[in-house]
Structure 1
Amino acid sequence: MSLGKVLVTGGAGYIGSHTTLLLLEAGYQVIVVDNLSNSSLESMRRVEDITGQPVIFHRVDIRDTEKLDALFMEHDFKAVVHFAGLKAVGESTQIPLEYYEQNVFGSVCLLKVMQKHDCRNMVFSSSATVYGDPASVPITEDFPTSTTNPYGSTKLYIEQIMRDLAASEQGWNIVLLRYFNPIGAHESGMIGEDPSGIPNNLMPFISQVAVGKREKLSVFGDDYDTIDGTGVRDYIHVVDLSDAHVKAIENIDALEGINAINLGTQTGYSVLQMVDAFVEKTGQKVPYEIVARRPGDIAECWADATLAKEKLGWSAKRGLNEMVADTWRWQSKNPEGYPK
């Protein structure tokens, strides 16, 4: 018996596809919309193969309110999990208007359609970038918010729009999940992170170097005030992260109003520590070079995830070895990512 219908925007992407898989396994009927600008329909086929269940997929841009409206007329959604949007920090500093157009305006379009159809349960894919350059670590949800790049700004603005909406009318249950750094892949090696072009995130870059797709890793700065001068981040397994979305849906009715919740492991690793862990676990070579810092990057960032345990009954279960092993299994099985 289905637990209800869930709309997943951006569901063909990295985190979206893993969350779609876990929602199906948990007993929900999942409808996915994605414009496929930075994702592959193959991920949906593979989710169906892994789960043995159908994924209802529509190629829709969330700014297309007519198509969204038609979907909401056809389906009675219990909740929306909202991933759709552009997501590269560096790219956002070069094409900020695209980020505001797709992320902020797109979210407003989605919320308007939800409001029209009286669907007021939302789980939003936010980010630890909303904390800007934090004064200290670990980071708790009551830290001041600010941003150091347009991507982070879009997440913060969307959060504020949702806060204003929830304050304006009763009945909204909105969970703002602030991710730290998702890595890894499903244990099957069938779905994983498949960035288009040069990867913006560390682990896909490391694994592409290891598989021979790229010559060497660029390490952006080694003069930060950290253990070895390279940036320190809280890396979280994508399956753990996706599980938190399922828990948020399961608890959505009790989570009235707005709830911002960090998702991380509460441990920070530097870039060079991640390289060493990958080499040690896989036996692959990962040559690297130190280059200039990247605009918008900060020295260190890791989570206090106490609130996730209290409100969602969730905590990260998978350690660094599993993150590395699952990343490499996906990359070695799919050296070019999904078939293009």
Structure 2
Amino acid sequence: MDRQAEWVLVAGGAGFIGSHLVDALLARGARVVALDSLLTGRRDNLAHLSREPRFEFVEADITEPLPRLPRFERVFNLACAASPPHYQADPIHTMLTSVVGTLRLLERARNDGARFLQASTSEVYGDPLVHPQPEAYWGNVNPTGPRACYDEGKRAAETLAFDFERGQGLEVRVARIFNTYGPRMRADDGRVVSNVICQALADAPVTVYGDGEQTRSFCYVTDLVEGLMRLMACEAASGGPVNLGNPREMTVAELVSLVSEMTGTRSPVVRRPLPVDDPQRRRPDIARAQALLGWSPKVALEQGLEATIAWFADEIRAPEQPVAKPRSIGGRHLRPVEAALARQAP
């Protein structure tokens, strides 16, 4: 193992975006610890790394005291259920993950002298009255509705991060992530891309909430991860959040039509009532990301959907596999994290 490579913690590392981030960090030479409670993350998202010596998986919940871990140079916080059915299933835990969990990770980053990146969300804009949404917009969020556990939790996480930056000198980066899609999404996450693809592949009725004229902007996961990596690396990115998303806006009805054409399904559309506080329009203003990071999404929607459809078509046949088997290091049977702690001990 290269002892000069930096240690990076990815909280939520077994999740959809988190596991892709882990892959990208390893590809660039980092040593990575993925920490995840597995409430919505999945072990099989990381199964392909079971023999990677620079990777370790730790099952833990950031609302609880953190386990003993190496000293990190970078901390990414992606730990929180992100789809409405999942974060509304236990709204109190969702809020605690964003508040208590973020506080624990911020304290860890401060103590380690690490740079910290908080994965926030376009949901901080609520059902926006400004379009497209720039970082300067304060949002239109219902603080007591069924989505508030996530929306307000993420807003509180941003507040904590910037208070640590102002008051304790922590290097902080905050990414406001817009709708992201790609392989490793959960079929049951309730979001529009996974819903439409899975229903179309099964030739089942495709569910559309509301009239289908509400808009979203869909960013492919590899583009999003590249934005996160650039934001963490940027020396001039402190002092405010950065939108990361694809500014190509389309209606839900247009997405359904495109997926139906690409899958060849003849599934009928079934309409359901629009969920409470569901935003009518969503499109990021990415001028700050373009200027600060030199970042814009590259993957065309059709190209990304093709890869995502192919992954969902195969996913039901992929059994869950184990993650990061222990290895013998220095005559003892240690995980890489334990070995690193032994090297760091005085």
The TM-score, its normalising length taken from structure 1, stands at: 0.85
Amino acid at match of 1:320: L
Given that residues 74 and 109 in structure 2 are in contact (C-alpha distance below 8 angstroms), is that contact kept between their aligned partners in structure 1? no
SS of the equivalent of 1:84 reads coil
The answer to whether the 8 A contact 1:90-1:295 is kept is no
Aligned mate of 2:111, from 111, 116, 121: 116
Q: Do 1:132 and 1:147's aligned partners in 2 also have CA atoms closer than 8 Å?
A: yes
Of the candidates 24, 40, 43, which is equivalent to residue 41 of structure 1? 43
Give the match for residue 327 of structure 2.
none
Are the counterparts in 2 of residues 43 and 338 from structure 1 also a CA contact under 8 Å? no
Partner residue, 1:58: 58
The more displaced of 229-238 and 89-98 is 89-98
Q: Which one of the candidate residues 119, 130, 144 is aligned to 2:124?
A: 130
> 1:31: Cα distance to partner?
1.1
Give the CA deviation at 1:93: 5.1
* Partner Cα distance (1:141, 1:304) in 2: 8
**Residue matched to 1:96:** 91
Q: Which residue of 1 aligns with 2:293?
A: 312
CA distance in 2, matches of 1:7, 1:91: 24
Deviations 1:215-234 (A, max 9, x none): 32321101xxxxxx522001
| Cα displacement (A) at 1:76 | 2.8
**Alignment-derived partner of residue 193 in structure 1:** 185
Tell me which residue corresponds to 2:205. Answer: 216
1:54 to partner: Cα distance: 4.4
Q: Any unmatched runs of 5+ in structure 2?
A: 322-346
**Contact 2:141/2:151, CA 8 A, preserved across alignment:** yes
CA contact (8 A) 1:275 1:286 kept: no
Asked whether 1:162 is paired with 2:155, we answer no
Task: Give the superposition deviation at 1:258.
Answer: 3.2
Q: Is the 8 A contact 2:118 2:161 kept in 1?
A: no
Secondary structure, in 3 states, of the residue corresponding to 1:240? helix
| 10-19 or 156-165: bigger deviation | 156-165
**Counterpart Cα distance in 1 of 2:133 and 2:318:** 33
Tell whether the 8 Å contact from 1:247 to 1:312 is kept in structure 2 after alignment. Answer: yes
Q: Distance in 1 between matches of 2:162 and 2:273?
A: 37
Distance 1:208 1:239 in 2: 21
Between stretches 52-61 and 106-115, larger displacement belongs to: 52-61
User: 1:47 Cα shift?
Assistant: 4.7
- Cα deviation, residue 138, structure 1: 1.3
Identity %: 24
Query: Partner letter of residue 43 of structure 2?
Result: L
Q: Partner residue of 2:230?
A: 247
Distance 1:292 1:138, change over 3 A: same
Whichever residue aligns with residue 339 of structure 1, its letter is E
* Alpha-carbon distance in structure 1 between the residues aligned to 2:262 and 2:315: 19
* CA RMSD in angstroms, aligned pairs only: 2.2
- What whole-Å deviation, never above 9, does each CA across 1:298-334 have from its counterpart, x for those lacking one? 1111011111111122110001111210111110111
Aligned letter for 1:194? R
2:208, 2:280 → 1: CA distance? 13
Alignment of 1:273-292 (within 5 A): 273-292=254-273
Q: CA, structure 1 residues 281+98, in 2 after alignment: closer, same or farther (shift >3 Å)?
A: same
Q: 1:25 to 1:286 in 2, by over 3 A?
A: farther
Residues 85-94 or 316-325, more deviating: 85-94
Residue 214 (structure 2) aligns with:
231
Question: Is there any run of 5+ residues in structure 1 with no aligned partner, and where?
Answer: 186-191, 223-228
Whether contact under 8 Å (2:196, 2:207) holds in the other structure is: no
| Residue type at the aligned position of 2:198 | Q
- Report the TM-score when normalising by structure 2: 0.84
Match of 2:308 among 306, 318, 327: 327
Counterpart pick for 1:177 among 156, 175, 178: 175
* Aligned with residue 80 of structure 2, among 66, 79, 85: 85
What SS does the corresponding residue of 2:204 show, helix, strand or coil?
coil
Measure, in 2, the Cα distance between the counterparts of 1:92 and 1:17. Answer: 19
